[in-house]
Each structure stands twice: as structure tokens, then as C-alpha cells.
């Protein structure tokens, strides 16, 4: 079986993602990344300009995945209850699909520089608003009973986003999806 060679830039990004997850963005140096990849620190700059370039790529790639997932759900003809369930499932699938990148996305975005930081925050708010619109629709239809939809979204996302801190794959993603969707749907039902 032939050995598949991963391009150096992808190796650097994968190593950096793992280091950012374990050590944090601020505590990870370009020298750390180069050492883990097995190259000289000076040669890493022939592959990328800065470690922030990697952080930007991770944050905006993951953000786009979350946005694409919820937009896809919103564009269906499913019931509001089913849309909510599928949005939760999509969110969990994205997190469990790449735990390291999810951890960086949720914990290290604050290190983005302007104007990218503002763009990232705007993307987060749009995602939260998309979830809120599903809940608001469920409330107006009499399917959900929620005192404060914004608070509900923040509490739910905080719970879901914590998966990247404790998930060790002992529970298959499909079961994890269903468990979270069930918990949150029970909490919203009228």
C-alpha cells in the first residue's frame, strides 16, 4: 500500500491546531510548531507568514461550517421542532468531526486581530441569531415555551460547545447528537 504524503503546509496546520488546543494560542510559538513538524524554525516561514494565519484559517473555516449547517437546516420544509433538532445535531457533528479545531475555535478566537476579530464576532452573533429565530418560531407556533430565547440559545450553545473539553469518543457521535437534541427539545417543549 503506497504511503500518502501530506503536504508540508497541511502538516504545519494540523500540528499547530493540536498545539493551540493543548497549550493555547498565546503559549505556542512558531519554534514549537516547527519542532513538532520536524523542520527548522526559520524554514516554517516559507510555508506561512505567522501563526495568526493558522488561527484565522481555523476560526473562519469552523465558523463557516457552523453557518452552512444551520442555513441548510433553515432552508428545509421540516417542522420547527425538527429544524431545532437537526440544528443541534449539525452543531454536535461539526464539533465531534474535528475536536482539536473546535477547541481552538471556541477557546482561542479572542487572539484574532482587528478587523478579523470583529468579523468573527459578527459571524458568531449571526449563528446565535439563526438558532434564536428557530426557537422564536417555535414559541410563536406554540411548540416551545421559552422565557428568554437569547438566554436559552446562550445556555444551549455553552453546553454544546463544552463537548470539545470532555468528549473522548466513548459515546458514538450519533448517540451524542440524539442525546443532546433530546435534552434540549425536552427543555423547550410546551
Q: Which domains does the chain have, with CATH numbers?
A: 8-46 (1.10.10.60), 52-188 (1.10.357.10)
- Cell matching residue 171: 459515546
How far, in whole angstroms, is CA 23 from its chain's centroid?
Answer: 18
Answer yes or no: are the C-beta atoms of 67 and 46 closer than 8 Å. no
**Residue 104 burial (10 A CB sphere; 0-12, 13-18, 19+):** buried
The pTM of this model reads 0.88
Residue 134 sits at the vertex; the CA angle it makes with 107 and 139, to the nearest 5 degrees, is 125
- Return per-residue pLDDT of the chain as tens, 190 residues: 555 678 888 999 999 999 999 999 999 999 999 999 999 988 999 888 899 999 999 999 999 999 999 999 999 999 999 999 999 999 999 999 999 999 999 999 999 999 999 999 999 999 999 999 999 999 999 999 998 999 999 999 998 888 877 766 667 777 777 777 877 777 776 5
Amino acid at each position: 500500500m503506497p504511503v500518502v504524503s501530506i503536504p508540508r503546509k497541511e502538516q504545519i496546520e494540523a500540528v499547530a491546531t493540536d498545539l493551540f488546543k493543548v497549550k493555547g494560542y498565546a503559549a505556542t510559538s512558531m519554534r514549537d510548531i516547527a519542532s513538532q513538524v520536524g523542520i527548522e524554525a526559520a524554514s516554517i516561514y516559507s510555508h506561512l507568514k505567522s501563526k495568526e494565519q493558522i488561527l484565522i484559517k481555523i476560526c473562519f473555516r469552523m465558523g463557516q461550517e457552523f453557518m452552512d449547517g444551520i442555513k441548510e437546516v433553515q432552508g428545509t420544509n421540516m417542522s420547527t421542532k425538527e429544524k431545532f433538532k437537526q440544528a443541534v445535531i449539525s452543531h454536535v457533528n461539526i464539533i465531534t468531526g474535528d475536536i482539536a479545531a473546535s477547541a481552538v475555535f471556541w477557546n482561542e478566537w479572542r487572539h484574532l486581530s482587528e478587523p478579523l476579530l470583529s468579523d468573527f464576532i459578527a459571524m458568531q452573533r449571526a449563528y446565535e441569531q439563526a438558532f434564536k429565530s428557530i426557537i422564536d418560531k417555535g414559541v410563536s407556533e406554540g411548540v416551545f415555551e421559552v422565557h428568554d430565547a437569547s438566554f436559552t440559545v446562550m445556555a444551549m450553545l455553552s453546553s454544546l460547545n463544552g463537548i470539545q473539553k470532555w468528549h473522548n469518543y466513548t459515546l458514538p457521535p450519533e448517540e451524542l447528537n440524539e442525546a443532546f437534541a433530546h435534552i434540549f427539545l425536552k427543555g423547550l417543549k410546551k
